[in-house]
Structure 1
């Protein structure tokens, strides 16, 4: 059933940088996989980030080339939409395609192609997980405003029109040193509506002593994301027991093993679910369901500078399930002024909301602008192995 597979890397310059405590990103680096079935093509994306999962773009590309699409195709029941999705969901893709971002690119491409072949939206794939009714929703959803480290919190919020400020439900603030975190939190609280929540993201830069020392000054914060170095399980548990500080795990939680350890250590109150770091659309959805069953809150996050399939698949999760404490949408419209997809990335910034995408699969197609910044590394056809592109 798989006719051909293409493997690409995308390197797209960003019109504006995005800074946090450990990195400054000025360009998109994504892995793209295109899968052709009978008459349709599906696109998938992975965002390898060494500081999150230890992956590199080259390493993730090599992982895709080590997988055998023919072996994958043999394990998929192509007869109906339901059978194809069920068999795809049963594949241990993180094992068959080594590395979460590589697995995400392959999985999203296959799901997109299957949905287009059967003329079904990506949201219908989620039925295979049999989610409890309490997590279901449909339609537009609120998204958070993220203020990165090089932006002054007061200036960003003061620049919003009154209506947009009043509509804010959640603001995530990137922080570095603890004293600066307290100051940036105070600036937000002075300006936001009383019912708006604020979270801080330290990107693993604080020590346990620093976090405990300022915890009392962070009263009312929705959570602090990754305050300590990743997987500091014992220290995180002690911090939460000593201070009651709500903690969200991001780099520390990329899959079910991390989630089990975090729950056993009482290391977190929330987790950040991002499709690429979790291994794909279904893997991220499963992780969110497991976390919700454990009583942990979930944020649906994004990797900075996702170029298309990742944010589109995330948009499906955001507008199909209502379990999210908050949803991040990214700022692809600002980073990439010339649209990379059809339809173009869009957020209603007056209401801080996003709506579902229409059409089969993820609902998007790559534009010439995206293709202009891609390089085909290899192709695969059923009569042979991967062939390196010229």
Structure 2
């Protein structure tokens, strides 16, 4: 199949618009039109991973972390980034990154951590703003149900755990077509009043073209009247981190031992224990210190993440236990998640997990 089939599917799951400003998700090396039959999935794209892709005849590497975060000015092999890009291009291997956009979805990286730890009733810790829009359209009353259903099928009308959400008001539409029109109702050159329904529904901004196509396909009017509004509501299904609950509370020490075992962590850096039981747990794969106040605000007893700096540990202030398990450790199951996502859609496409341990940090125990 063509590479574009794979990338389009991945971006339907984790749209590029969900990535953070500093990130560089998407197709980094390769042509969307190239033919692929095997993919190698990894957390990082290193020289060893590219060598593995060459040896296993994989035409594309799907990694969590982008190999390129900012523009490259020279290609002379002095850095590992340059060498990876040069080798991939030389051997016609595509590189695709699915990073903070996969972190942001409610079935993504943080959901996998929650699943691994057996957390329940999980929700996004810091939902994103500016990702939702509202569509308002005016439909002949007899066609309102048909148009609404088409909009819902295209992805509109989701609010939290509810679907097919809309608001509808009966009214009267007026119009007068000129002599070159072919109106669905009324006559050219004559004013017409028509019983209509005003339909309002929210939708993710990244689905706008699909939503509008559904509207135009099912709306009977020659000229479709509609309005699009940006809204600042939080998108509850997209954002940073997650918080959930343990089925049975645990002591802090027992819980940290449990986390160490389940997350295959060699060591956990943590703040002082508070002598309280652990019920609510916040998580963030990768660098999550920016979410500390939100974890505290959500009532979490423990915050599991990585890359906390020395002075940032003081910010816990005995309100929460920070558990820094390491960046690689917090995201190590992401490659399994990516593999499962691909296999679910492309059952006959070969997906291989890298055998290279890309963790650049080693521990002397």
- TM-score, length-scaled by structure 2: 0.25
User: Which structure has the larger Rg over C-alpha atoms?
Assistant: 2
Q: Which has the higher strand share?
A: 2
- TM-score, length-scaled by structure 1: 0.23
Between the two structures, name the one with larger relative contact order (CA 8 Å, sep ≥ 6).
1
Q: Which has the higher helix share?
A: 1
